[in-house]
Structure 1
């Protein structure tokens, strides 16, 4: 499976945190839009993600051990309706250039970073993420034998 791993922090979020705020929106609407700051994810990579059996992206909490799979069904480049994104970043939506429609968020296996390889280098994500400040990585993940469905 080819997808991306995105770093996130709770810098924008309320005291409850990014994941909780997104979960609340999922409970309300059945989905939420998760925005990626900065440069857009290429159309080619977006297409590869959506071609997976269960499209998802990996969310890496910067500076913490928490990792989450965000299950998605759509990717867009324009800002979605503001009522479909968490309130805490509605007034900063122009900073986000790729949006993922998330319908479920689950905590990933604690060793997930070692199971993913960065496509450009073949390096395990656990190593690459420590030596790079990149906000996202294109990764390959072998789903065989994992509890992450």
Structure 2
């Protein structure tokens, strides 16, 4: 199964945190857009993920131990409507180049990063993420 691993930080997040802020909108609307800052995720990688039977991305808390699977049903490059993503990053939303439409978030199993490999290098995600400044990883997980 292909997926994309993204790091997130709590630097600008509200008290309920990044995951909590996104979950609140899922609870209200049934979905939320999650913005990825910086470089664009390639169309080829987006297609690999969306072609899966149950597409999802792995959200990795930078500096923390939390890992989450976010189930997605769409990806786009244009900014969504403001009310479809958390308010705390609306003022910087123009910096987000890829948007993932998340329909469900669940905590990933402990040790998930040691069970995924980076497609390009075949290294374990747990090792690659320590030594790489890559903005995202295309990963393979069972």
Q: Distance in 1 between matches of 2:50 and 2:138?
A: 14
Partner in structure 2 of residue 147 of structure 1: none
- CA deviation after TM superposition for structure 1 residue 136, in Å: 1.1
Q: Distance in 2 between matches of 1:71 and 1:6?
A: 13
Q: Which runs of 5+ in 2 are unaligned?
A: none
Partner in structure 1 of residue 44 of structure 2: 44
Q: Which runs of 5+ in 1 are unaligned?
A: 143-149
Partner in structure 1 of residue 26 of structure 2: 26
Partner in structure 1 of residue 111 of structure 2: 111
Instruction: Provide the secondary structure at the position in 2 that maps to 1:99.
Output: strand
Structure 1 residues 8-52: Cα deviation after superposition (integer angstroms, max 9, x where no partner): 001121122100000001001000000000010011111111100
TM-score under structure 1 normalisation? 0.93
Range with greater deviation from structure 2 (112-121 or 132-141): 132-141
Structure 1 runs (4+) greater than 2 angstroms displaced:
none
Structure 1 residues 88-118: Cα deviation after superposition (integer angstroms, max 9, x where no partner): 0111110100000000000000110011000
Count of matched residue positions in the alignment of Structure 1 and Structure 2? 142
